[in-house]
Structure 1
């Protein structure tokens, strides 16, 4: 089973504030849905709570040491149990979707990264640990321009990049 992470982050590795996303980029949400649909998604409890419900057409797995429980969510206290569950269900590509502690803890297991680099600098309280791209190959990139509406930025510019770990 391939283990992938999917994350959007700002120029200073910002990913969230008060358990919420820092921007709304419609095309990025569509991309996230297209990529993760039909797969198992793995997240921490706070990320699940910020979403509020299991996402349609995906199997939600939450890592929590506090005995977190929610209908239609599979909770595990460690990553190996979560990985075994996904494998046992025939998953071919498991997606790690956050938050900051989950990304940092599980990064050593990651084989593939789907990264949205957002042209954003601002207040945040959750950060992605800076990634050293030395052992990664860029296999896809698409650049998006900012979208203005009534003279205001509706959607910042961003780059979508896919990396695979070198063997």
Structure 2
């Protein structure tokens, strides 16, 4: 199963200058619990936005750069197709960004795990539009802003409509 996982604002913003534009601890916890123990596919810039590889996950990094150096436990591939090829077939595989990789994969994904952050922000990277004719909401959980979260947000799980 191919799953896109992202946190986006109401205007589908993902980030700016290769950084997230909010800090939501509960979103990080959900991301960690869903992706731990799985393969995660990402573009090079997304990988470079981490201080170090995320623990307990196999990183598959898409880049056109030849001889791109990565730490042990990371796999480098030249395309989304190759990234999917190197992942286990009977396991949930997560695509974690960035914007270009989401665009390339939205039409082949089985599931979207979205954190909708209820604000509009300025950004340079966006998540593709989710077409309600192609996706069904199967889970939704709203969270009010609080002392740790500057914005209201909603966890939404979409499954591809048949």
Write the distance in 1 (CA, Å) between the matches of 2:81 and 2:121. Answer: 35
| Structure 2 portions without partners, runs of 5+ | none
3-state SS of 1:159 partner: strand
- Where does 1:137-156 land on structure 2 (aligned, <5 Å)? 137-148=136-147, 154-156=149-151
3-state SS of 1:32 partner: helix
Write the distance in 2 (CA, Å) between the matches of 1:99 and 1:37. Answer: 19
Compare the two structures and name the one with the higher helix fraction.
1
Write the distance in 1 (CA, Å) between the matches of 2:78 and 2:7. Answer: 25
Question: What residue in structure 2 maps to residue 16 of structure 1?
Answer: 15
Question: What residue in structure 2 maps to residue 74 of structure 1?
Answer: 75
TM-superposed deviation, 1:69:
2.1
Q: TM-score with structure 2 length normalisation?
A: 0.94
- Where does 1:3-152 land on structure 2 (aligned, <5 Å)? 3-67=2-66, 68-72=68-72, 73-87=74-88, 92-148=91-147
TM-superposed deviation, 1:155:
2.5
Write the distance in 2 (CA, Å) between the matches of 1:93 and 1:64. Answer: 22
Is 2:154 aligned against 1:164?
A: no
Write the distance in 2 (CA, Å) between the matches of 1:82 and 1:69. Answer: 16
Write the distance in 2 (CA, Å) between the matches of 1:133 and 1:119. Answer: 19
3-state SS of 1:109 partner: coil
Contact 1:40 1:91 in 2 (8 A): no
Segment drifting more, 43-52 vs 65-74:
65-74
Query: Which segments of structure 1 move beyond 2 Å, counting only runs of 4 or more?
Result: none
Compare the two structures and name the one with the higher strand fraction.
1
| Structure 1 portions without partners, runs of 5+ | none
